Amino acid sequence: MAKPPKFQAIRGTRDLLPPETALWNRVEEAAHAVFGTFGFGEIRPPIFEPTELFARAVGGETDIVSKEMYSFPDNPDLGHIEELKAQLLEMFVFYKESDYAGFFVHGVENFLQSIEQRSQRGELSVGSEAQSDLDKLRHIFARLPRTDWTSVPSEIDQETRDIIAQISLKVQMFRFSDSVALRPEATASVCRGYIEHGMQQLPQPVKLYYMGPMFRRERPQKGRYRQFYQIGAEVLGGSDAPAIDAEVIEMVMTFFDRVGLSGVELTINSIGHNAPDCRPAYVEKLRAALEQVKDKLGADSQRRIETNPLRVLDSKLEHEQPIIATLPRIADHLCADCAAHYAAVKRQLELRGVFFKENWRLVRGLDYYMRTTFEITAKGLGSQNAVCGGGRYDGLVELLGGPPTKGIGFAIGEDRLILSLQESGKGAAAQARDVYIAWMGEHAYAAAVRAAKDLRNAGFNVELPPTELKFGKALERADKLGSRYALILGDNEVSEGSWTLKTLADGTQQKFTEPELLDFLKSAKASGERA
């Protein structure tokens, strides 16, 4: 037999393993608890969505959508449809050469029938784009005269020729693949969900949080993965009161404090809004200023002067820094409303005792932001030190086909949060066992199974070896697993009803009856938890 291939996790993805997963769980539990105290409820959106959703929300020109998204056609049976299409085009060529349209018209009929049957059997998913193309094709097809197309018609009139030409064109253009994408972020999904479930009817604002994997085809490095995890929250609807911005930021800072993240630094900015007297006017000024220094900029920045001048401010290139420092600043160009909003957000943060720095260059890499943007960095992460990013996105729900809706939120990079906690010594230790049951003999085994069940029901972490081990060997294993106690059960102990409990740290032993043992362990645990 050929040697089986050696499988490995795909580049940029990884297994999260114990004991580290215990830390992930602790962090996630803290998020549920803290976000709950701020009145947020959990949403669990799907992991894949129409590609179009992210293209619209995040922006077709952004790196996330244009370079990093995992998108693919959602049709397993596409090959067959493509084959039918190719055959039809051959039949069309034949018709043009021979003036006999019978094969072509029949072919189209079969094509339409085959799609219908396959979609009824659930073998094809007909998305909205394909459905509308299909409807148009059927509509045109229905306009063909009802004749026996298999016989050789003497003459086809011009109108029929036009219809056949239109059908052929439609078949060529027919795209049966509605593209779906693994979500690169979840704000778009939450907004889609808000619209889909008519959440604007609920008391506003609606406060939702989520956690789970996101996917971006980035170059993997420390703190940057292709499958990574976010914990995020969104506030949708109601007003754009600066207190909402400040409370959302306060919430994430409270969470970081709860999990013990060190070296946390919050940076904020306002990027104005999309009205002629605000951001667009600034962007034009910035573009003009950039044109003046174009020759001194790198290729990426030069390109961005055209596509998205704000992103030049994001540049990390050493030699561009002194040039960027001289560029016009958005704070000096905000409209009166945005300037007042930003000033109020800062006051609200101060009121809540949330420390922040300002950075006029914080523009963020997603298109939906307006007004407040923020980022949080933490210690021990090297160049990928942003552990959270967020901002306001009024207008996004409307862009996705919903009612005008205010919105603000953030997402924490959970992988980075965990890395930073580990770097500062707050990682998880291997999970120790409370009780290791060392048993020998048939009667002892029955008692051991019973004891394991009772102890586990009482919440203890119990290890019960599946096969008999000599007591010496069993105690060795108990030690390796970091067990606190070993319960020693031989047939004698069981028949005498006197069970031996050994404390592994100091080697002391005590004897108990079965019910006494459980009471002892419970009270030892309770006093351990109090200590």
Q: Which of 279, 371, 406, 416 binds ligand HAM (CB under 6 A)?
A: 416
- Alpha-carbon distance of 470 to 462, in angstroms, equals 18
- Is position 499 an interface residue for ligand HAM (rule: CB under 6 A)? no
Nearer to ligand HAM, 402 or 413 (CB): 413
Nearer to ligand HAM, 410 or 436 (CB): 410
The DSSP line for 8-36 is -PPTT-----TTHHHHHHHHHHHHHHHHH
Q: Is the peptide bond before 45 cis (omega within 30 degrees of 0)?
A: no
Near ligand HAM by CB under 6 A, which window of 69-77, 129-137, 275-283, 405-413? Answer: 405-413
- Is position 91 an interface residue for ligand HAM (rule: CB under 6 A)? no
Q: Which of 409, 420, 433, 452 binds ligand HAM (CB under 6 A)?
A: 409
296, 323 contact by CB (below 8 A): yes
Nearer to ligand HAM, 74 or 415 (CB): 415
- Alpha-carbon distance of 93 to 87, in angstroms, equals 10
Question: Can you read off the two tokens belonging to residue 232?
Answer: 């995020």
- HSE at residue 132, side-chain half, CA atoms within 13 A, is 3
Nearer to ligand HAM, 224 or 443 (CB): 224
* In the complex, minimum distance from the CB of residue 264 to ligand HAM, in angstroms, rounded to a whole number: 13
* In the complex, minimum distance from the CB of residue 199 to ligand HAM, in angstroms, rounded to a whole number: 16
* In the complex, minimum distance from the CB of residue 406 to ligand HAM, in angstroms, rounded to a whole number: 12
* In the complex, minimum distance from the CB of residue 55 to ligand HAM, in angstroms, rounded to a whole number: 15
- Please, which of residues 259-318 interact with ligand HAM by CB under 6 A? none
Q: Which of 234, 245, 247, 250 binds ligand HAM (CB under 6 A)?
A: 234
Question: Can you read off the two tokens belonging to residue 144?
Answer: 């063909």
Nearer to ligand HAM, 415 or 493 (CB): 415
Near ligand HAM by CB under 6 A, which window of 137-145, 218-226, 312-320, 439-447? Answer: 218-226
Q: Give the burial class of 138: count Cβ atoms within 10 A of its Cβ; 0-12 exposed, 13-18 middle, 19 or more buried.
A: middle
The DSSP line for 310-377 is GGGGG---GGGHHHHHTS--GGGG--HHHHHHHHHHHHHHHHTT---EE-TT---S-TT-EEEEEEEE
Q: Which of 102, 205, 232, 242 binds ligand HAM (CB under 6 A)?
A: 232
- Alpha-carbon distance of 274 to 276, in angstroms, equals 7
* In the complex, minimum distance from the CB of residue 377 to ligand HAM, in angstroms, rounded to a whole number: 9
- Is position 40 an interface residue for ligand HAM (rule: CB under 6 A)? no
Sign, CA torsion 243/244/246/250: positive
In the block, which residue shows the tokens 């960027």?
324
- Is position 71 an interface residue for ligand HAM (rule: CB under 6 A)? no
Task: Say how many C-beta atoms besides its own lie within 10 A of residue 212's C-beta.
Answer: 16
Q: Which of 243, 289, 386, 518 binds ligand HAM (CB under 6 A)?
A: 386
- Alpha-carbon distance of 176 to 522, in angstroms, equals 63
Nearer to ligand HAM, 249 or 447 (CB): 249
- Is position 217 an interface residue for ligand HAM (rule: CB under 6 A)? no
Task: Say how many C-beta atoms besides its own lie within 10 A of residue 282's C-beta.
Answer: 22
Nearer to ligand HAM, 11 or 453 (CB): 11
* In the complex, minimum distance from the CB of residue 9 to ligand HAM, in angstroms, rounded to a whole number: 15
- Is position 127 an interface residue for ligand HAM (rule: CB under 6 A)? no
Nearer to ligand HAM, 224 or 379 (CB): 224
- Is position 216 an interface residue for ligand HAM (rule: CB under 6 A)? yes
- Is position 390 an interface residue for ligand HAM (rule: CB under 6 A)? yes
* In the complex, minimum distance from the CB of residue 60 to ligand HAM, in angstroms, rounded to a whole number: 16
Provide the 8-state DSSP code for 224: B
- Alpha-carbon distance of 146 to 144, in angstroms, equals 6
Q: Which of 107, 237, 391, 402 binds ligand HAM (CB under 6 A)?
A: 391
Near ligand HAM by CB under 6 A, which window of 22-30, 78-86, 220-228, 337-345? Answer: 220-228
424, 379 contact by CB (below 8 A): yes
Query: Could you give phi then psi for residue 67, rounded to 5 degrees?
Result: -120, -25
* In the complex, minimum distance from the CB of residue 79 to ligand HAM, in angstroms, rounded to a whole number: 33
Nearer to ligand HAM, 232 or 490 (CB): 232
In sequence order, what E strands does 172-288 have? 179-182, 206-215, 227-236, 265-270
Q: 341: closest CA among 276, 406, 389? A: 406
- Is position 225 an interface residue for ligand HAM (rule: CB under 6 A)? yes
- Is position 245 an interface residue for ligand HAM (rule: CB under 6 A)? no
- Is position 406 an interface residue for ligand HAM (rule: CB under 6 A)? no
End-to-end CA distance of the chain: 59
- Alpha-carbon distance of 497 to 512, in angstroms, equals 8
List residues near ligand HAM by CB under 6 A: 185, 187, 216, 218, 223-225, 228, 230, 232, 234, 366, 386-391, 409-411, 413, 415-416
